[in-house]
Each structure stands twice: as structure tokens, then as C-alpha cells.
Amino acid sequence: MTTELLGSHPDEPVDGDPRDDGGEDVAVSDFTRIGPYRVVQQLGEGGMGVVHLALDTKGRAVALKALRPHVAHDADARERLAREVATLGRVRSERVAPVFDADLDAEQPYIVTRYVPGPSLDAHVKEHGPLDPDSLLRLARGLAEALRAIHESGIVHRDLKPGNVLLVDGDPVLIDFGIAHDADSSRMTMTGMVMGTPGYLSPEIIEGAEVHAATDWWGWAATLVFAASGRPPFGRGGMEAVLARVCRGDVDLTGVDHRLAPLLYAALNPDESRRPGADEVLRALEQYARGEDVTSALPARARPMPGSSATTVLPQRGTTVLPHAEPSGSPSPVRHQPAPPAYAAQGPPARHPEAYRPPPQQPRPGPPQQWPGMGQDDRESDPRIRLPLRSGVLAALVVALAGGFAIAPLLTLAVVLLGAVVARTIDGSMTSTVMRRYAHGRRRSDSAVAAAKSPLHLLGAIWTTLWASILPALVGVSALLVGGAVLARVATRPTSFDHPALLAGAGALACLTAWWGPGGPSLRRGTRSIVRTVTGPQPVRVAVIIGLVVVGLALGWAAWQIGAPQTWWPLVDSPLPSSTTLPTL
């Protein structure tokens, strides 16, 4: 068995390192042991890992995270645990719980980190309500300090949320680096991003952009909204609904002080270039804590538009959330055991680890609080995010569909609707599998469960396609009416609403509206998954792009210039108004 000591030179203990000299080994009876550590109490658990409060041979408290026995021999699980050890070993900050020890070769691999005897931010807000201005500023400063230290080490945390923030005497400590991203890791770049927590993922990451520091600053701002309001920043519900609100910037600011709302609204702008920087947000929070005007601290790009009433209108933009629901910072619920036995009080407070006793003015720490973010270092990769978008193929597909609308409108519409249902069904199945593995780890039953749920995903896709088609239909009809009126005025001969150019343009606009409108994220993810599977290598993609463009242009040319007859199958004739109607518009 090989034990690795992380975080400093072996002869230079880090702050709070249980290797510090000071005191003889104390006699501790065997209870449950993992390596040299005696397990006292379970603090939290994830799909494949468990976090324990443990004591070392000198009776000092540490947090020990171990893989579950049934995955302890899984090479991927061990690699993910090793990645977390390597990540934490590079970060130097009081706001990040450091690694003291690790044994990655043991029968049950584990890592040992500083024990933080404080509640998570979501538990604190649940019990005490939203933070006051001074506490909010303290939280923002501490988390900003942690993120800067992390980013200076070339790491992106990617899962900053209330459940991964522990509070010690009001100061935050960031935990759970299980899905942290190393900017130099080619393997992570190829496999894609691990699914984070809906509502705390930035819009650009949801859309498949590269992982970078702005991802964490988005989570930082979303966490501040939760701390200021006690409510999830983008409401609750299914993952698809929450991610759609994130992409629209539909932030729920209900309960946020009206003086602070414009600042947080600007910090969660879907357009990354329009968000205020961290320093600007901190300056505004300092003014807010002093009772001064906050808006004046914002850059011009982030201020409300003149004449708008951002402080009163913003809460109305928020998603309506059931009032009885409790805040939840993590999609994977954490179960906690009863209070530890009396000897657990031997555990030290994290702020003074060298003494391993509470400072005189502080009471001894009570039973350990929530560690909801820990034990989740093994969450599954979402195979869709950060993969090629295949924009060229999709643009060519729009050209082909426009040509189809010009010569066979109803048949093309049926193909579009059927394709939308298939894409959303595939997306629903993949999302369900990812979230299941996120919560419980990879299981042999995953394929069987996905197959059993397929009918439900199909019904959900049909329902989503129906209501999501309302806006595209309105846009298409409006384009047909406006285009028809314009064409009637400029045409040298009588024309009608079933003119090929009108149908092609209206159909293309309707498709683009469906792509970017309500329900669009699931359509985009599912369609891109299909396109990536079908097109494959680059020569195939090039051939598909050329073929789709040629087909679209040929159909349009045949319908418009050659006068090829249109088909309105399954109808006998066009249901649109005749040419005599257009001049009267």
C-alpha cells in the first residue's frame, strides 16, 4: 500500500495538516477503519463515493472520502479520484479545503482533506434565511478569493453552487473538485464536460462552448442570487426547463433587495460580454453593504436601459416557484447519519488546525453539518456537450428544407415535425441516462432503464413539440402575410400566398424560430446528436453539405423558375388564399 502526502514538501506541513508534530499518539479503539483513519460518522454520499468524519492516530478530525466497495476496482473511478487529488494539490488558498493524504492504490481508495465543521450555504440559508448585506459581501469576497486561486492554478471548478460552499464563522470554504477541469488536460477536452448542476451552469457551456474561467464566475453570481434571496436563481423543475431559463436569462430575483437586483441581473446576462466583471460586482456589493447606490458602480453595458424600472420589473421576469419548496443546491440528495458519539468532539475547527481545539471564545463544534457536494467525484460525462456542433451540416439542412417548403409545403412540414419529435426523444433519453449516472453512478441496468423509459420520452417529446410549435407557426404565418403583401405591390403579374419564394422564406423563418425559441435547447442537442452520428468523418460531412445545398436549390429553382407543379399532399389543392386576395391587404 502506498500513501501519498499532498500539498507540500513532507518536511513542511501545510496549515491544518494532521502530520504536524505536537502530541503523542492517543489510544483509540478500533471502530471502523479505512487505512490508518478511524471512521466516526458519515457526512455525505454521492453515487460512487462516501465522505466520512474520521480521526487520525492522534485523534484529530479529518474528512475522508472513499470509493464505494463495488466501484473500488473500477479504473475510471480511481482515475477520477486521482484527478481530484492532483487538482486539490495545486491549489493554495484558505478558501479551499486542501488534501492532506491519499491512498489511491488501496483496496478501497480514499483521499483525506481538511475537515470543515460548518454548514453548507444552502443549509445555512434554509435555517436562517437570506444573508444580510455584510454577510453577502463576505461570502462574495471569500468565493472570489477561492476562484482566483483556482484559476491561477490553471483549473476551472465547474460546479460552484450553494451545496459546495461550507461556512466557517461566516467565511466560505469551497469543496468538491470531482469535476474540476484542467485547462491542460487533453483527455478532458476530448471526452467533454461532466454535467454540472442545472441553474448554476453558464449559458455558453450549455450551448457547448469551451470550458473557461467565466463558467465559474457565472456560478459565483448565481450562488450570490441564492444567498440574497433564498431561492434557486432559475427556479425548479425539470433540467430542460431550468437550462432553457438559463439560456434566456430568465433569472428569478424574487426576494432580492430592489437596490441589489440590477447588479445580480446584469451578472447573469446570457451574453458573456455584457456581464460586469468580478471586481465591478464586488465594488457594487461594498457600496450596497454601506447603504449606497449600487447601480452607479455598474459599467454602462450592465446598467438598466433608460426609462426602465429594473428594480421593480425584474422579479416579475422570474420563474414562478412553489412557495413551499425548500432550496436545493445539488441534484444528488445527501443523507446524513444521526449525531456522532461524544468522542467526535475531539475534532478540531478548521481555522486553527495546529491546536486541534476550538479557540477560547468559540464553543466546541456540534454535530457535523451537510457536505452535500462531496462524494460526487465520479459523475458521468455528458457525451453531447463540447462536441462539434456541425453548424455547416445544419445550415445546409435549412437550405434543403426551404426548397422543400417551396414545392411540397405540407409534406416538408410533416418531416420537420417528425424530426423534432425524434430529436427530442433522443435528447430526453440521453439526458435521463446522464442524470441517472450523475446521481447513482454507472450501472448495468442503464440500457434497460433507458429502453423502458423510451415511451415516456416519446410522449414528452410529442407534447414539447406541440407547444413549442406555436411561436414558429405564428412567425411563419406572419412572414407569409407580410411577404405576400410586399410581393403583391412589386409583382408585375398577379400572385398568391402559395408563391414558392413566400413558402420557402416563411418555412425557413419558422424553422429558425423553432431552433432558437422555446423548447429549442432539447431540439438543438438532439438534432446535433443525430447529425454527428449520421455524418461521421469529414469527407462524409462535406458530401452531405453539398448534397443538401444542391437539393434545396434545385427544388427552389424547379418550383419558382421552371414552374414545376406544387404538391399539397395530403390535401388536393392549396388551402391558401388566391391571388385576388393579395392586392387588398
Per-residue pLDDT, averaged over 483-494, amounts to 72
- Helices then strands, each counted (H, E), the chain: 17, 10
Give the model's confidence band at 297: pLDDT under 50 very low, under 70 low, under 90 confident, else very high: low
3-state secondary structure of 550: helix
More confident call, 30 vs 53: 53
Assess whether 301 and 168 both reside in one domain.
yes
Q: C-alpha distances in angstroms, 436 versus 192, 382, 431, 451?
A: 18, 11, 8, 14
Assess whether 106 and 132 both reside in one domain.
no
Per-residue model confidence (pLDDT) at position 192: 31
Tell whether the model's pLDDT for residue 18 goes beyond 60: no
* Annotated binding-site residue numbers for ATP: 65
C-alpha cell at 173: 470554504
* Alpha-carbon span 321 to 341, nearest angstrom: 39
Assess whether 296 and 193 both reside in one domain.
yes
Per-residue model confidence (pLDDT) at position 211: 72
C-beta separation of 556 from 402 below 8 A? yes
Per-residue pLDDT, averaged over 39-52, amounts to 81
Give the model's confidence band at 489: pLDDT under 50 very low, under 70 low, under 90 confident, else very high: confident
Q: What value does the mean pLDDT of the chain take? A: 74
Assess whether 224 and 94 both reside in one domain.
no
Tell whether the model's pLDDT for residue 145 goes beyond 70: yes
* Annotated binding-site residue numbers: 65
Q: Establish if 463 belongs to a structural domain.
A: yes
CA atoms within 13 A on the CB side of 310: 17
Signed CA dihedral, 10, 11, 13, 14: sign only: negative
| Beta strands 49-55 and 33-34, pairing class | unpaired
Assess whether 289 and 143 both reside in one domain.
yes
Q: Establish if 282 belongs to a structural domain.
A: yes
DSSP label at residue 381:
B
* Alpha-carbon span 151 to 181, nearest angstrom: 10
Q: Which of 112, 133, 118 is nearest to 52 (CA)?
A: 112
For the chain, what is the domain count?
A: 3
Task: Report pLDDT digits (tens) over 557-566.
Answer: 887 766 667 7
Assess whether 127 and 101 both reside in one domain.
no
Per-residue pLDDT, averaged over 139-155, amounts to 91
* Alpha-carbon span 84 to 78, nearest angstrom: 10
Per-residue model confidence (pLDDT) at position 75: 77
Specify the CATH number for the domain of residue 287: 1.10.510.10
* Alpha-carbon span 256 to 266, nearest angstrom: 14
Give the model's confidence band at 159: pLDDT under 50 very low, under 70 low, under 90 confident, else very high: confident
Give the model's confidence band at 475: pLDDT under 50 very low, under 70 low, under 90 confident, else very high: very high
Helix axis angle, 520-535 to 446-468, nearest 10°: 120
Per-residue model confidence (pLDDT) at position 337: 43
Give the model's confidence band at 243: pLDDT under 50 very low, under 70 low, under 90 confident, else very high: confident
* Alpha-carbon span 48 to 437, nearest angstrom: 10
Q: Establish if 385 belongs to a structural domain.
A: no
Most confident residue range from 84-93, 322-331, 402-411: 402-411
Tell whether the model's pLDDT for residue 356 goes beyond 70: no
C-beta separation of 89 from 4 below 8 A? no
88-97, 460-469, 509-518: least confident range: 88-97
pTM: 0.54
The phi, psi pair for 112, rounded to 5°, reads: -120, 125
Assess whether 402 and 453 both reside in one domain.
yes
Assess whether 149 and 248 both reside in one domain.
yes
Per-residue model confidence (pLDDT) at position 316: 41
Assess whether 243 and 365 both reside in one domain.
no
Q: Establish if 384 belongs to a structural domain.
A: no
Task: Report pLDDT digits (tens) over 169-197.
Answer: 889 998 876 544 444 332 233 233 334 56
Tell whether the model's pLDDT for residue 2 goes beyond 90: no
Q: % helix / strand / coil in the chain, to the nearest 5?
A: 50, 10, 40
Assess whether 137 and 81 both reside in one domain.
no
Q: Establish if 329 belongs to a structural domain.
A: no
Tell whether the model's pLDDT for residue 438 goes beyond 80: no
Specify the CATH number for the domain of residue 60: 3.30.200.20
Containing structural domain, residue 579: 391-584
Most confident residue range from 181-190, 292-301, 487-496: 487-496
Most confident residue range from 279-293, 435-449, 474-488: 279-293
C-alpha cell at 168: 466557517
* Alpha-carbon span 225 to 231, nearest angstrom: 8
* Alpha-carbon span 548 to 556, nearest angstrom: 12
Q: Does the annotation count 159 as an active-site position?
A: yes
Neighbours of 512 (CB within 10 A): 14
Assess whether 57 and 81 both reside in one domain.
yes
**Contacts with 94 (C-beta within 8 Å, 6 or more apart), sequence order:** 15, 145, 173
Task: Report pLDDT digits (tens) over 382-391.
Answer: 455 556 678 8
Most confident residue range from 169-183, 360-374, 441-455: 441-455
* Alpha-carbon span 63 to 42, nearest angstrom: 10
Torsion of CA 145, 147, 149, 151, to 10 degrees: -150
Per-residue model confidence (pLDDT) at position 497: 75
Q: Establish if 80 belongs to a structural domain.
A: yes
Helix axis angle, 391-407 to 500-516, nearest 10°: 140
Per-residue pLDDT, averaged over 310-336, amounts to 42
Which run of H or of E encompasses 228? Answer: helix 213-229
* Alpha-carbon span 204 to 326, nearest angstrom: 28
C-alpha cell at 183: 485547462
136-140, 254-258, 301-305, 371-375: least confident range: 371-375
Per-residue model confidence (pLDDT) at position 193: 32
Tell whether the model's pLDDT for residue 426 goes beyond 50: yes
Q: Establish if 227 belongs to a structural domain.
A: yes
Which residues is 49 bridged to in the sheet? Answer: 67
Identify the active-site residue in 17, 101, 122, 159.
159
Task: Report pLDDT digits (tens) over 57-74.
Answer: 888 899 998 888 777 777
Share of the chain above pLDDT 90, in %: 27
Assess whether 517 and 465 both reside in one domain.
yes
Q: Establish if 330 belongs to a structural domain.
A: no
DSSP label at residue 142:
H
